[in-house]
Chains A and B, each alone.
Chain A
Amino acid sequence: MVDWIVLWDGYAWPGIIIVAQVLLIVVPLLLAVAYLTYAERKVIAAMQLRKGPNVVGYFGLMQPIADAVKLLFKETILPAGANKVVFIMAPMLVFILGLVGWAVIPFDEGWVLADINVGILYLFAISSLGVYGVLMAGWASNSKYPFLGALRAAAQMVSYEVSMGFVIITVLIVVGSLNLTDIVLAQKDLWFVVPLLPMFVVFFISTLAETNRSPFDLAEGESEIVAGFFLEYSSFTFALFFMGEYANMILMSAMTTILFLGGWLPIIDVAPFNWIPGIVWFAGKVALVLFCFLWVRATFPRYRYDQLMRLGWKVFLPLSLFWVVLTAGVVVAFDLVPRN
């Protein structure tokens, strides 16, 4: 006999709670993605002395909704020479990978869907998978420019992942744990951006390259390879790429916040600052990093491909490797080895 109470208490009820928690993360995330595109257009417009979207709704606030509806009702075109299954799977993969990383992000103390021991490794693994969506899209399109874009993206993302890994190792040496909550709590007295400032800079630039954002957006490179890997995509498959890219940007900003900017912790733990709830601090810091993403896009011209590779392998890799050794040396020499 099946014990219904055990089945309900043990499986069904926790299942319902988990689904509710997932929705609680995903729905605000999708809204954030929609308004990040709006923010991007507004910020860049302001920096270029334009107005930006200002027609749909007050201050153009309904513009992302209108864009989404437009994309949703357009026709999805499958190129005749495309490899259909892989072609359809690629945008879904990009979008899914932009969402699943959020499972381990702590928004406040204890506000985390899955508080796993190897949280930072999980995030690193998810971010390294992003390249598959691009590669699959470029190959399945069976067209020249998407293929060139995909090859560029693959080499670029693999290169910058290496220095990102070393930056993460530097933080891990100081913290002594791979759990994201532990990493944030270790910054209670001092955010890691202060002692590890060069690593913060390397990490931020690597996240730009990892998310294929300007000035490293060679995978799209509209002035040379039309639109790169998503050239053949239309309507909602295109929208999925777009949403995946922006969700990934927010995820990377959250990762930067957790590793270097003290997650949900206030600037200093005194009266007016610690009245503000942790989630507000977290969102504020993520927004700050995202603003830097947009600021960079409005400011810098695109890198040339050989310069991009040079920066990744000849500048960031030695620098981050040196900092790993230096940090480990300092931690051992001054007996700061974290114990837990």
Chain B
Amino acid sequence: MIIQALAFYLFAAITVASGVMVISARNPVHSVLFLILAFFNAAGLFVLMGAEFLAMILIVVYVGAVAVLFLFVVMMLDINFTELRQGFLQYLPIGALVGIILLVELIAVVGAWVVAPEAGLATSLPIPPPDQVTNTQALGEVLYTKYIYLFQTAGLVLLVAMIGAIVLTLRQREGVRRQNIGEQVSREATVEVKNVPSGSGI
């Protein structure tokens, strides 16, 4: 158990430290890189808990896709760093408010766990015992049976968001010449196929 404990403290410490660095780093690109480090260590914590599927999905989705686009956008921004610093005091009350709300919610969750330890069991009932099925299968069995309607609703919400994004950004421009590959390939008498004897070249 020593190794697990050491690994836990290592991952947890790096997660917290890189979380702090995300908001305190001067360069936004460094912030995103620290965010990626935080995701990584959170995935490590998931593995320690035995939730290997969630750990891998966290890396594939957040690190492999979301953070790439983040980094992509942040790298192309032309930011004036001194200007960015000036707004700090102005936005401090809003930031503090969000932080306090999150803190209260976390206290409520952890508090419920301390006051009534059996409350967690009630919500975790549909999950089959982890020593009998792999957690990929366990998640699938719960997600696609008990929560199928919620799952489908979430999918529809995402679909609507996607269509919305396309509608907002798509614009038809005049005078754009597009390539029609099918037409181009099926043109006759422009491409000739030659049979070249191998080993001698043309």
Interface residues, chain A, CB within 8 Å of chain B?
Answer: 11, 49, 83, 86, 116-118, 121-122, 124-125, 128-129, 131-132, 135-136, 139, 147, 150-151, 154-155, 157-158, 161, 165, 178, 306-307, 310
Contact = CB atoms under 8 A, between A and B. Distances in A.
B33 A11 contact: no
A128 B3 contact: no
Contacts of A158: 65, 68-69
A11 B2 contact: yes
Contacts of A118: 52-53, 56, 136
B64 interface: yes
B39 to A, nearest CB: 11
Where chain B touches its partner, the secondary structure class is: helix
Contacts of B135: 117
B71 A135 contact: yes
A161 B64 contact: yes
A307 B180 CA distance: 11
Contact of B53 (A121, A135, A136, A310): A121
Interface residues on B, range: 20 to 34
A117 B134 contact: yes
- For the complex of A and B, the 7 pairs showing the least CB-CB separation, nearest first, are A128-B64, A121-B56, A125-B59, A117-B134, A125-B60, A118-B52, A118-B56
B201 interface: yes
Nearest to A85: B30
A161 B63 CA distance: 13
Contacts of B199: 49
B33 A129 contact: no
Given A117-B136, A122-B56, A135 B3 contact: no
Contacts of B29: 83, 86, 139
A129 B63 contact: yes
B83 to A, nearest CB: 21
A178 B64 CA distance: 19
A125 B65 contact: no
Interface string B50-85: 001100110110011100110110011000000000
Nearest to A178: B136
A306 B178 CA distance: 10
A216 to B, nearest CB: 16
11 contacts: A49-B200, A118-B56, A121-B57, A132-B36, A132-B68, A135-B68, A158-B65, A158-B69, A165-B60, A307-B181, A310-B181
A310 B181 CA distance: 10
Contacts, number: 74
Interface string B21-35: 000000101100100
A166 B3 CA distance: 37
A37 B22 CA distance: 40
B56 A154 contact: no
A83 B75 CA distance: 13
Nearest to B136: A178
A6 to B, nearest CB: 10
Interface in B1-41: 2-3, 27, 29-30, 33, 36
Contacts of B2: 11
A9 to B, nearest CB: 13
Given A86-B33, A118-B56, A161-B65, A135 B75 contact: yes
B65 A116 contact: no
Nearest to B178: A306
A126 B131 CA distance: 27
A49 B60 contact: no
Contacts of A129: 59, 63-64
Given A135-B75, A154-B68, A178-B136, 5 more contacts: A117-B136, A118-B53, A121-B60, A178-B134, A306-B179
B135 to A, nearest CB: 8
B52 A124 contact: no
A310 B3 CA distance: 49
Nearest to A306: B179
Nearest to B40: A129
B60 A139 contact: no
A49 B201 contact: yes
Contacts of A86: 29-30, 33
B33 to A, nearest CB: 7
